[in-house]
Chain A
Amino acid sequence: MALKGLDIFKLSPKKNCKECGSPTCMAFSMKVAQGAVSVDACPYFSEDAKAQLNEATAPPMKTVKIGAGENEMTLGGETVLFRHEKTFVNKTRYAVSVCSCMDDAEIDAKLAAVPKVDYERIGERMFVEMIYVNYDAASGKDKYLELVKKAAAVGRVLILGCDDADVAKEAVALVKDAKPVLNGANASNYEAMNAVATGAGIALGVQGKDINELYDTVAALEKLGNKNLLIDAGSNSIKDAFATAVQFRKAAIKDGDRTCGYPSIVRACCLAKGNAHLQAALASLFTMKYGSIVVLEQLGYAEALPLYGLRQNLFTDPQKPMKVEPGIYPLNGADENSICVTTVDFALTYFVVSGELERSGVPLNLIINDAGGLSVLTSWAAGKFSAGTIEKFFKEQDIEGKIKSRKLVIPGKVAVLKGELEAKLPGWEIIIAPNEAVQLVKFMKDLTA
């Protein structure tokens, strides 16, 4: 998308007046191209040219902000199709749906279940971030407005699923400060819905009976000047929803079609047709392929544990390894007399090693060193996991004060540290573990047998 200096120069006034601080218009254009100065520094750049420039330098996919205060989150803004190309920037968010067609008991039960899933995984809070409030025309407006109020009280970002602009207007008015999403613009109501959404300054979800109608409606809304949009992948079929999510993302990123460049909403709850396991599969599928918001019928721990783990993995920066918090992790009911095992804070190492150690059933204290989030051999090579750093870490954390055992198991790959560690940690017996984590179960059992 980057515009070259020469392209900008063509749009410039070519007066060389120096008022912008650059010696010539050419020099100024080069700086703009690098992002060093804003085009606004030039008083003579025509509005037309500026608009053209902004259009050309805008990212291929819009970043849409929803929610307010501490609930605010950003969607979209992606620049690649695959995570190895760069990074996925804004993670998929999950919503649980309620509908005004449900009876009160069901609604209460579902809303009460929302806050139950709330835990931390490698420094990230995992919880149900949104509630999708669906409007059922047959149950009437009043019931819907009551439901919106009730859902708002849970304290999550709301998505108001409503295609009746009059009802939507009243519903939005109730919660507009919390910046909900309004989902339900389509080919027949988009003008009225647009007025509701823009009036409240909230994002508008667009639907269509097929991908062409969807595309045309988005284009029509853009013509009305609204670019605060979300794409609803639809509820016709799993195949169509997948095709819409993928094709819009591809067209936006690869072919530069701005009309496709909006975050998406996938209503897996409708696509799964009551099959909870299929819904779990869909949640995973659309986390992989381009869902910005995935709406589910329910999201308990069973669905959430793998799903949030998957999301955390997918949306990591490939250039930045995931780290776990250094410290002492007692496993299998360990106490201060249990044997110590140490390794690095690279998340993958931690998960593999702690998983095998848990399987061994041997009570032990897993001591995670601060090794910059690198793997065992990499951190050792970089000098971040050596006898010196381990000794320093033991002092900082007061390991000797906290743990009475004086047996320390070190990774087999850094067996060379044994001698030096024995010198630096007097009184400790240093034991060398096998090279591979899978061998740990047997090793630990034999060691403590």
Chain B
Amino acid sequence: MPFTAKSGKFNAKINAVTMGTGDKAITIGGENVLPFYTFDEAIENAPKVGIEITDGGMEAEPECIQKCYEGCASVVDMAKKAATFEGVDFLSIRLEGGDPNGKNKSTEELIALVNDVAAAVDLPLVVCGCKNVEKDAELLDKAAAALAGKNAVILAAKEENYKTVGASAGLAYKQVVGAESAVDINLAKQLNVLLTQLGVSGQSVVMNVGTASAGYGFEYVVSTMDRVKAAALSQSDATLQMPIITPVASEVWNVKEAAASEADMPEWGNQEERGVDMEIETAAAVLAAGSNAVILRHPESVKTISTLVKELV
């Protein structure tokens, strides 16, 4: 008697959201099964992998990533190079230099950079803010305007600034609005509801439900994503059916397993390997929990996760 599995496909679906335009445009979401459960039903749009650079250019990268960008003189050069790495589906530029508590670069300077990067690459773009909600409101508003017609992802609107960011990215310039909440299904749902009440179409929202590095309270990330997918699929909750995009890169390279030098922790061995494995293992876990896209930093991580996804879908 052969094995008979009950199908686990659902009547509801995750929204399919397209990022970018033209030949290089990609679509995430659209599935009616749990992550990688292709035995229940084919998954049309495999999860996508993005690579992240920052306005800080080479200086802002760990040494092991700098060497992958050898010969790049500017952020634009890095963007061009990043677009050529194997497995890259989209490019993310993080404007962390805008942070008033950090370098406090002006909005004009950063938007000029976004324009240059957009002109240099034809991949779908994600623009990430600097994590300061006031500055982000201004920065992301201008970024949405600058990228008009590019169908970029603006990451992200938060509870504190969703009106500005949502109205600009979602209503005025028809970009994809990223909705960021902090590892809690209720907060994620609330923000989606607020954005749709503002008039933003639920079909052009992607969620960043929050993340952590493996080992750093990652159980909350897993349970949040598990529950979001369960609500979206088994309870057909339309306010949680947005695909999930997870910026892994900005978390993993700061934890000590990745950041401690080999001189400080000789028994841990090669620092690059530790960083790459931290990024890969965290990314594999968020994908298994339900992310439809991940943003990574090391070209080797991008290649590996892209291979994993191809093997699974």
Chain A interface (Cβ < 8 Å from any Cβ of B)? 82-84, 116, 121, 211-212, 214-216, 219, 237-239, 242-243, 246-247, 250-251, 254-255, 260, 275, 277-278, 280-285, 287-289, 300-303, 305-310, 312-314, 316, 318, 347-348, 351-352, 355, 358-359, 438-439, 442
- A435 vs chain B, min Cβ distance (A): 13
Shortest Cβ gap from A187 to chain B (Å): 12
Given known A277-B280, A309-B214, contact A314–B311 (CB-CB < 8 A): no
Asked if B215 lies at the interface with its beta carbon under 8 angstroms from chain A, I say: yes
Residues of B within 8 A of A251 (CB): 3, 5-6
B255 contacts A by Cβ under 8 Å: yes
Which one of B1, B6, B101, B217 contacts A347 once the chains associate, using CB atoms below 8 Å? Answer: B217
Q: How far is the CA of A287 from the CA of B289 in the complex (A)?
A: 11
Q: Kindly provide the distance from the CB of A236 to the nearest chain B CB, expressed in whole angstroms.
A: 12
Residues on B with C-beta less than 8 A from A442 are 101
Q: List residues of chain A with CB within 8 A of the CB of B218.
A: 309-310, 313-314
B281/A307 in contact, CB under 8 A = yes
Interface size class of B (residues with CB under 8 A): 35 or more
Do A288 and B222 contact each other (CB < 8 Å), given the known contacts A303-B277, A307-B281?
Answer: yes
Q: Do B37 and A246 touch (CB < 8 A)?
A: yes
- A318-B223 Cα distance, complex, nearest whole Å: 9
Across the interface, B6 reaches (CB within 8 A) one of A254, A301, A309, namely A254
Q: Which of B120-128, B144-152, B266-274 contacts A (4 or more CB under 8 A)?
A: B266-274
Answer whether A255 and B6 are a contact pair too, CB < 8 Å, given A82-B226, A309-B214.
yes
Whether B223 contacts A84 by the Cβ 8 Å rule is: yes
Bound complex: CA A303 to CA B273 (Å):
8
* Contacting residues of chain B (238-254) with chain A, CB-CB under 8 angstroms: 254
The 5 closest A-B pairs by CB, nearest first: A309-B215, A215-B3, A212-B2, A310-B214, A284-B281
Asked whether A313 lies within 8 Å of B217 as measured between CB atoms, the reply is: yes
**A284-B285, A351-B216 given as contacts; is B268 within 8 A of A301 (CB)?**
yes
Task: Select B5's contact among A247, A300, A313, A358, beta carbons within 8 Å.
Answer: A247
The answer to the question of B88 belonging to the interface, with a C-beta cut-off of 8 Å to chain A, is: no
Instruction: Evaluate contact between A277 and B311: CB separation under 8 angstroms.
Output: no
Q: How far does the alpha carbon of A121 sit from the alpha carbon of B230 in the complex, in Å?
A: 31
A212 contact set on B, CB distance < 8 A: 2-3
Do A238 and B304 have beta carbons less than 8 Å apart?
A: no
Contact of A280 with B215 in the complex, beta carbons under 8 Å = no
Residues of B within 8 A of A214 (CB): 3
Q: A281-B304, A312-B215, A313-B219 are in contact. List 11 more A-B contacts (CB 8 A).
A: A215-B3, A216-B3, A247-B39, A254-B6, A284-B288, A313-B214, A313-B215, A314-B222, A351-B215, A359-B259, A442-B101
Which chain B residue has the least Cβ–Cβ distance from A283?
B281
A301 touching B280 in the complex, CB below 8 Å, given contacts A216-B2, A288-B289: no
* Proximity bits, B161-174, A CB within 8 Å = 1, else 0: 00000000000000
**A250:B308 contact, CB within 8 angstroms:** no
Q: Is B278 an interface residue (CB 8 A)?
A: yes
Is B53 engaged at the interface, CB distance under 8 Å to the other chain? Answer: no
**Is the contact region of chain A dominated by helix, strand, or loop, or is it mixed?**
helix
- Establish whether residues B1 and A219, one from each chain, have CB atoms under 8 Å apart when the complex forms: yes
Shortest distance from the beta carbon of A398 to any chain B beta carbon, whole Å: 28
Q: Are A358 and B131 closer than 8 Å at their CB atoms? A: no
Known contacts: A215-B3, A243-B38, A288-B285. The answer to whether A277 contacts B227 by CB under 8 A is no
* Contact between chains at B101 and A439 (CB < 8 Å): yes
Contact B222 A313 (CB under 8 A): yes
Q: B300 at the A/B interface (Cβ < 8 Å)?
A: yes
Is B39 touching A301 in the complex (CB atoms < 8 A)?
A: no
Q: In whole angstroms, what is the CA distance A301 to B270 when docked?
A: 9
- B186 → A minimal CB distance (Å): 13
Assembly CA distance A284 to B277 (angstroms): 10
Flag if A281 contacts B223 (CB, 8 Å). no
CB pairs A–B below 8 angstroms (25 shown): A212-B2, A215-B2, A237-B311, A238-B308, A239-B312, A247-B3, A250-B5, A250-B8, A280-B280, A281-B281, A282-B308, A284-B281, A284-B282, A301-B267, A302-B268, A303-B281, A309-B216, A313-B214, A313-B222, A347-B217, A351-B215, A352-B217, A355-B256, A359-B254, A439-B101
Residues of A within 8 A of B276 (CB): 277, 302
What CA separation (Å) do A254 and B6 show in the bound complex? 9
Which of chain B's residues 213-238 have a Cβ closer than 8 Å to chain A? 213-220, 222-223, 226-227, 230
Chain A residues in 8 Å Cβ range of B289: 288
The answer, yes or no, to whether B90 is at the interface (CB within 8 Å) is no
The answer for the CA separation of A347 and B216 in the assembled complex, in Å, is 8
Convert B274-313 into 0s and 1s, putting 1 for each residue whose CB lies closer than 8 angstroms to a CB of A: 1011101111110111000000000011011101100110
Contact residues in A for B269 (Cβ distance below 8 Å): 300-302
